[in-house]
């Protein structure tokens, strides 16, 4: 029995980011069934379908939303918000901040000295401060720290034992783990001017004004204190720093409390207990201990939350007053469907920002296609909520960095986000990839607008609008084909070539952002987004790098789309073969599967209903669409997630695992190369 329990415990899978993401989305989908079904106005399979569609922001519906009760509509209002990328990613930032604080509490004993029993600190010039003698212990390549007077500066030694002068630059050192130090892994210097550059340790080294040195050799007991400094990119990056103290700072020693000479100036109420435990820390003290990355994450959390909910508020402020003062054509349409005007404004803003696609009106946005103001606002919200999210988020941070005072800590944090975006946030890219993403999205939408207008010049479903509203309606439709899924056109009546172009655009909608995530700056010799069973590509050739990712994405996705289409064709073969069902065709089913897998929500529909074509599928076909929506929601998430959502101390970030090995090999090779130059 004990062996069986042990085997079960060993079998327990590791819950990485993508597994937790799957659990959250599936939980919300099942919750949809629990919430929507009990009233009895929605069949069980449709309740599950609504839950999956809302939690994945797919937007396909099997029943008109206006037929649902108010509490059911409220559920379909809230769930897409808490499963949206604009909510999940800031939540990940909040979790990282929490673990930062937890990591700081664990690291505080090692900030002032590696081993409380081994380090002797003294004020400079105190003649009675003698280094404590330690019994010989097995040596390992490490530090030697001893108390010296000011006159002995010229005799100080470097980490590698070489003599140094009385002065040394302010440097930050990457300290390898004990195993790598034993095998000869050198100490390397991180250039503070370029966070991504690691250089071999220079001839000059630390010169502590307090003249502090560790006399005994470091042992395995010092491992935790030093291994927390493996990752200068995380919490330890700003806390565990070896180098000279600030001018005017002095190390002090007290028999009652540990020394805190290596710490920044903290507030007066902070007290230091045994084992260097800090008490009464204020938020400002935590920021000083955590450093710039901790402050940058706190600023980023505020910016992303304000951005996400600010977009919803902007949509509400713009749409609610308009609909209350809109022409009778629009208000009468809402009244005819039994819809409250204020609730329509709230829900329309949410469906555009979250790129959901559900609309309270049965014809989506066809009735409003000639209303200039809502078309402009909702088109902007559709772009800002998804496809242009990285672009506008970086623009927001850039503008804030220009507005805040030049010497404020907020300015420094904002600049850190601009300089090193991908180590803080998955959807925040460097300047170059951000511009490329903007150009690609603009080009794709321009192509869509031109095709819709040119190919349907003689189509009564399109040309009944004047040219101005027609262009605006086409732009709205182009934006919706990226991810939103709302429509100003009856897609079943437009040119077949336009239908095919919309199908292609739905499939490739996520690829610009996905490729930007994968192809954005690498950090320390490794690709930020490592994917399952995938070898490291040659990142020196940008074009081949992107083409490789695009090819892999195509080969990975098409299997799911083809399999889903095949299964539905088998289940609905009688309807496809029925001449009385022209709406049922292989292309329309393929269109529905691509829309579900791309989590877009466009559908060619069926003449008998105003819902999606999925409403005419059987139970098996609806389950296939649900599976496609859930799988498609995770199509761009890596298995070994990048540093932007890794917690301090996780394997690939602390020097362990294959990526950590690559990091150490890269740092070693680079330091050896520069040492020979």
* Rounded distance between C-alpha atoms, residue 181 and residue 264, angstroms: 29
Paired tokens of 169: 């630059």
pLDDT digits (tens, 9 = 90+) for 590-620: 999 999 999 999 999 998 888 999 999 999 9
The whole-number pLDDT of residue 484 equals: 87
Sign (positive or negative) of CA dihedral 50, 56, 57, 60: negative
Q: Where are the domains of the chain?
A: 18-111, 114-257
Entry pTM: 0.70
Half-sphere exposure of 633 (CA within 13 A, CB side): 30
276: number of CA atoms within 13 Å, CB side?
Answer: 23
Tell me the pLDDT band of 472, cut-offs 50, 70 and 90: very high
Q: Measure the CA dihedral 329/333/335/338, to 10°.
A: -170
Q: What's residue 433's pLDDT? A: 86
3-state SS record for 433-458: HHHHHHHHHHHHHHHHHHHHHHHCCC
18-111: CATH number: 1.10.287
State residue 287's pLDDT score. Answer: 57
Between 322 and 661, residue with greater pLDDT: 322
Q: Is the dihedral of CA 226, 230, 234, 237 positive or negative?
A: positive
* End-to-end Cα, the chain, rounded Å: 62
Least confident of 201-205, 386-390, 392-396: 201-205
Least confident of 189-193, 210-214, 400-404, 426-430: 210-214
Bigger pLDDT: 510 or 5? 510
Other beta carbons within 10 Å of 465: 17
Pairing of strands 198-200, 188-190: antiparallel
Q: Is the pLDDT of residue 657 over 70?
A: no
Cα–Cα distance between 81 and 354 in angstroms, integer? 6
Given this model, what pLDDT does residue 664 score? 37
pLDDT at 442 over 70: yes
256: confidence class by pLDDT, cuts 50, 70, 90:
very low
Please state, in angstroms and as integers, the Cα–Cα distance from residue 548 to each residue in 93, 534, 559, following that order.
30, 11, 18
pLDDT, mean of residues 664-672? 40
Q: In terms of C-beta density within 10 A (0-12 exposed, 13-18 middle, 19 or more buried), how is residue 358 classed? A: buried
What's the whole-number average pLDDT of the chain? 73
Say whether pLDDT at 146 is over 90: no
pLDDT the model gives residue 134: 41
Closest Cα to residue 420, out of 512, 292, 290, 231? 292
Q: Which residue has the higher pLDDT, 145 or 128?
A: 128
**pLDDT average, residue stretch 475-495:** 89
Mean pLDDT of 216-226: 40
Distance (Å, rounded) from C-alpha 118 to C-alpha 120? 7
Q: What is the pLDDT of residue 518?
A: 65
Q: What is the pLDDT of residues 263-304, one digit of tens each?
A: 456 566 666 554 344 566 676 666 565 677 788 999 999 999
Report which of residues 149 and 45 the model is more confident about.
45
Both structure tokens of 505: 């655009």
The whole-number pLDDT of residue 101 equals 79
Sheet strands (E) in 257-399: 271-272, 278-279
Q: So what's the pLDDT on residue 659?
A: 40
CA distances from 590 to 20, 60, 587, 605, 609 (A): 30, 14, 5, 13, 19
pLDDT band per the 50, 70, 90 thresholds, residue 260: very low
Q: Is the dihedral of CA 564, 570, 575, 577 positive or negative?
A: positive
What is the average pLDDT across 187-215? 44
Selected residue with higher pLDDT from 95 and 640: 95
In whole angstroms, what is the distance from residue 154 CA to residue 147 CA? 14
Q: How many helical (H) and strand (E) elements, i.e. helices and strands, does the chain have? A: 24, 5
The per-residue pLDDT for 65 is 92
Q: Are 360 and 354 in contact (CB under 8 A)?
A: no
pLDDT of residue 154: 41
Residue 149 has pLDDT above 50, yes or no: no
Length of the chain: 677
């Amino acid at each position: 029995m004990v062996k069986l329990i042990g085997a079960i415990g060993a079998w327990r899978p590791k819950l990485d980011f993508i597994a937790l993401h799957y659990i959250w989305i599936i939980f919300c989908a099942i919750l949809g069934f629990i919430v929507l079904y009990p009233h009895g106005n929605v069949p069980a399979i449709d309740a599950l379908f609504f839950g999956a569609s809302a939690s994945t922001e797919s937007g396909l519906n099997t029943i008109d939303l206006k037929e649902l009760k108010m509490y059911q509509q409220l559920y379909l209002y809230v769930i897409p918000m808490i499963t949206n990328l604009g909510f999940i990613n800031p939540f990940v930032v909040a979790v990282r901040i929490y673990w930062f604080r937890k990591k700081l509490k664990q690291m505080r004993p090692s900030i002032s000295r590696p081993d409380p029993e081994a380090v002797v600190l003294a004020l400079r010039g105190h003649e009675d401060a003698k280094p404590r003698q330690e019994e010989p212990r097995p040596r390992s390549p490490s530090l030697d720290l001893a108390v010296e007077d000011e006159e002995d500066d010229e005799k100080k030694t470097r980490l590698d034992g070489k003599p140094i002068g009385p002065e040394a630059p302010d440097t930050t050192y990457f300290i390898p783990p004990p195993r790598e130090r034993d095998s000869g892994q050198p100490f390397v210097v991180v250039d503070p001017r370029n966070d991504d550059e690691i250089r071999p340790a220079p001839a000059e080294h630390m010169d502590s004004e307090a003249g502090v040195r560790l006399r005994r050799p470091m042992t395995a007991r010092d491992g935790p204190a030093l291994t927390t400094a493996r990752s200068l990119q995380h919490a330890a990056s700003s806390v565990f720093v070896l180098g000279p103290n600030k001018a005017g700072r002095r190390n002090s020693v007290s028999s009652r409390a540990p020394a805190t000479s290596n710490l920044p100036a903290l507030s007066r109420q902070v007290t230091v207990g045994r084992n260097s435990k800090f008490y009464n820390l204020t938020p400002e003290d935590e920021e000083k201990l955590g450093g710039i990355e901790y402050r940058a994450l706190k600023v980023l959390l505020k910016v992303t939350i304000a951005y996400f909910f600010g977009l919803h508020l902007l949509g509400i402020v713009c749409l609610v007053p308009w609909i209350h003062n809109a022409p009778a054509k629009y208000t009468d349409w809402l009244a005819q469907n039994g819809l409250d005007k204020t609730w329509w404004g709230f829900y329309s803003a949410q469906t555009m920002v979250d790129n959901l696609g559900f609309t309270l009106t049965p014809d989506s946005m066809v009735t409003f296609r000639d209303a200039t103001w809502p078309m402009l606002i909702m088109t902007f919200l559709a772009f800002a909520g998804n496809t242009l999210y990285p672009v506008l988020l970086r623009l927001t941070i850039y503008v804030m960095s220009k507005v805040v005072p030049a010497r404020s800590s907020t300015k420094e944090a904002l600049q850190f986000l601009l300089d090193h975006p991908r180590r803080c946030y998955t959807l925040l890219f460097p300047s170059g990839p951000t511009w490329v993403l903007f150009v690609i999205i603009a080009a794709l939408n321009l192509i869509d607008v031109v095709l819709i207008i040119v190919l349907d010049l003689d189509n009564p479903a399109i040309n009944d609008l004047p040219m101005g509203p027609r262009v605006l309606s086409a732009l709205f439709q182009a934006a919706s084909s990226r991810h939103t899924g709302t429509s100003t056109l009856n897609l079943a009546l437009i040119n077949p070539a336009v239908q095919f172009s919309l199908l292609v655009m739905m499939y490739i909608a996520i690829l610009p952002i996905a490729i930007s995530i994968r192809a954005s700056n690498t950090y320390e010799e490794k690709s930020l987004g490592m994917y399952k069973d995938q070898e490291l590509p040659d990142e020196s050739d940008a074009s081949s790098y992107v083409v490789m990712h695009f090819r892999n994405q195509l080969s990975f996705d098409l299997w799911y789309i083809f399999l889903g289409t095949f299964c539905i064709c088998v289940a609905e073969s009688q309807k496809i073969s029925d001449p009385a069902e022209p709406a049922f065709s292989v292309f329309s089913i393929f269109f529905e599967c691509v829309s579900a897998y791309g989590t877009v929500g466009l559908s060619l529909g069926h003449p008998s209903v105003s819902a999606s074509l999925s409403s005419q599928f059987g139970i098996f076909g609806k389950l296939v669409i649900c599976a496609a929506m859930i799988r498609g929601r995770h199509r761009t998430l890596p298995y070994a997630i990048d540093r932007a959502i890794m917690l301090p101390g996780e394997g690939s970030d602390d020097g362990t695992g294959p990526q950590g090995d690559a990091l150490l090999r890269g740092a070693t090779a680079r330091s050896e190369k520069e040492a020979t130059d």
